[in-house]
Amino acid sequence: MKVLVTGGCGFIGSNFIHYLARKHPTYKIINIDKLTYAGNLGNLKGLNKKKDYWFIKADICDKPVMKKVFQKYRPEAVVNFAAESHVDRSISRPAIFLKTNVLGAATLLDLSIGFGVEKFLHISTDEVYGSILRGKFTENSMLHPSSPYSASKAAADALVLAYHTTYGLPALITRSSNNYGPYQFPEKFIPLIIHNALHAKKIPLYGDGKNVRDWLYVEDNCEAIDMVLHKGRIGEIYNVGGHNEYQNIAVIRGILKALRKPASLIAFVRDRAGHDRRYALSITKIKRDIGWTPRTPFATGLRKTIQWYTNNPGWLKNTQTGAYRSFYKKYYSKLGLSGS
Ligand code: NAD
Ligand code: TYD
């Protein structure tokens, strides 16, 4: 199979390319990434030696360039990870989220119709459903996105489904819960805690710290995405959850304990605007129809993740670019914390 992966230099996309290359060594993989602050070619070290792997630096919103890519490589499948993905950034600067997450997706959908792509798998998020205090969201639940990020993802989901209904595009969607694992940019909660703890920096904890996320080890999500790509029913949405619900404060305490760092590093700061209290997904559908369940208990995944970041200080250091610093300098000072 010839698979075009977008956003393959980001966290989940790069883990997915590694997974795909191991699981299906004969597949041809084309990786399109704009290399924003979140994209890192170092995430794909080792793959350059693989025959039938191509990296192209391009913006999914740039239709003429993307058309050339489709013309040249004629992908059979498209897996769209490319996105602006950080909620806090979407609150400060929503426009780029609408551009990449909605218009970028629309460009890929148009080209996929035009070039007869056989499967279009769109990677979405549990955040499109919004917050739920009790129970779990199913794939039929109403969408109530709270942030510009989740609103842009919900808009893209609606477009993907519309392209399926109107033009017959063979599309599928996965909506996963919060991922964690190697190669995650340290603006997201778990790598941020590890990074700040390792550097004895304060760790901002929003609000009362009791917001709940369902943590999914990234390798388990890659397995789910691969299974949906091969066994999913066209036109369907699949929730992918980790069965690991924890309050944020418990996650921080667990990591500080594992790293033998003091709880005094925790800094309660003002809450994120529109902060969703709890995310929770029913994964009955993907279990029943595809046979996927999450494999990694949180304690195991967290141990592996902490180990990976501790063993890769160079990777972590390389993320501290000008773009990272300028955002966090302003952002942390707004929160009453110094520097990044
Ligand atoms: P990420 O921010 O780590 O990576 C995004 C990648 O997309 C980067 O490599 C970036 O350079 C690239 N990119 C951004 N804009 C682009 C553009 N215009 N053209 C081409 N490439 C572009 O994100 P992630 O955490 O790996 O998330 C990947 C996907 O999974 C996103 O669609 C996100 O909404 C979804 N998702 C993430 C999580 C999570 O916990 N991280 C959970 C559910 C769903
Ligand atoms: P995040 O990793 O940004 O994922 P999302 O908001 O998309 O779920 O945040 C996970 C949780 O951690 C969320 O409830 C917000 C909280 N959080 C903090 O308390 N402090 C932080 O510095 C960050 C980045 C997140």
Please state the domain count of the chain: 1
Cβ–ligand 1 distance for 36 under 6 Å, the answer: yes
Please write the tens of the pLDDT for every residue from 151-167: 999 999 999 999 999 99
The answer as to whether 340 is a domain residue is no
* pLDDT recorded at residue 340: 47
Ligand that comes closest to the CA of residue 191 = 2
Q: At 144, is the pLDDT very low, low, confident or very high (cuts 50, 70, 90)?
A: very high
Instruction: Judge if pTM exceeds 0.85.
Output: yes
Strand partners, 246: 213
Ligand that comes closest to the CA of residue 59 = 1
What is the percent of the chain with per-residue pLDDT over 90, rounded to a whole number?
91
DSSP code string of 19-55: HHHHH-TT-EEEEEE---TT--GGGGTTGGGSTTEEE
Give yes or no: 126 in active site: yes
The answer as to whether 292 is a domain residue is no
Please write the tens of the pLDDT for every residue from 192-201: 999 999 999 9
Give yes or no: 59 in active site: no
Q: Which two tokens stand for residue 152?
A: 């842009």
If you measure from the C-alpha of residue 85 to the centroid of ligand 1, how many angstroms do you get, rounded to a whole number?
5
Compare 46 and 272 and report the one with higher pLDDT.
272
Please write the tens of the pLDDT for every residue from 50-94: 889 999 999 999 999 999 999 999 999 999 999 999 999 999 999
3-class SS of residue 147 = coil
* pLDDT recorded at residue 338: 65
Nearest ligand 1 atom to the CA of 60 is 19
* pLDDT recorded at residue 80: 99
Please write the tens of the pLDDT for every residue from 235-271: 999 999 999 999 999 999 999 999 999 999 999 999 9
Please write the tens of the pLDDT for every residue from 230-242: 999 999 999 999 9
pLDDT, mean over the chain: 96
Please write the tens of the pLDDT for every residue from 101-116: 999 999 999 999 999 9
Residue nearest to atom 33 of ligand 1 (CA): 85
Residue 22, Cβ density class (10 Å: 0-12 exposed, 13-18 middle, ≥19 buried): exposed
Residue nearest to atom 19 of ligand 1 (CA): 59
The answer as to whether 295 is a domain residue is no
| Poorest-pLDDT segment among 38-52, 195-209, 226-240 | 38-52
CATH number, domain containing residue 135: 3.40.50.720
The answer as to whether 318 is a domain residue is no
The answer as to whether 108 is a domain residue is yes
For a pocket test of ligand 2, which of 213, 276, 305 has the largest count of ligand atoms closer than 8 A to its C-beta?
213
Cβ–ligand 1 distance for 132 under 6 Å, the answer: no
Contact 178, 214 (CB under 8 A): yes
* pLDDT recorded at residue 339: 52
Cβ–ligand 1 distance for 82 under 6 Å, the answer: yes
Structural domain boundaries enclosing 174 = 2-180+216-240
Q: Which two tokens stand for residue 184?
A: 């995650």
If you measure from the C-alpha of residue 209 to the centroid of ligand 2, how many angstroms do you get, rounded to a whole number?
10
* pLDDT recorded at residue 67: 98
Cβ–ligand 2 distance for 180 under 6 Å, the answer: no
Q: Which two tokens stand for residue 165?
A: 């209904």
The answer as to whether 166 is a domain residue is yes
Cβ–ligand 2 distance for 89 under 6 Å, the answer: no
Q: Which among 19, 53, 129, 149 is annotated as catalytic? A: 149
The answer as to whether 48 is a domain residue is yes
**Crossing angle of the two packed helices 248-258 and 189-198, in degrees rounded to 10:** 40
* pLDDT surpassing 90 at residue 226: yes
* pLDDT surpassing 90 at residue 328: no
Q: Looking at residues 23-46, what average pLDDT do you find?
A: 96
Q: Looking at residues 321-338, what average pLDDT do you find?
A: 73
If you measure from the C-alpha of residue 262 to the centroid of ligand 1, how many angstroms do you get, rounded to a whole number?
32
Cβ–ligand 1 distance for 85 under 6 Å, the answer: yes
Selection from 213, 279, 223 nearest residue 250 by Cα:
213
Cβ–ligand 2 distance for 185 under 6 Å, the answer: no
Q: Looking at residues 303-330, what average pLDDT do you find?
A: 86
The answer as to whether 291 is a domain residue is no
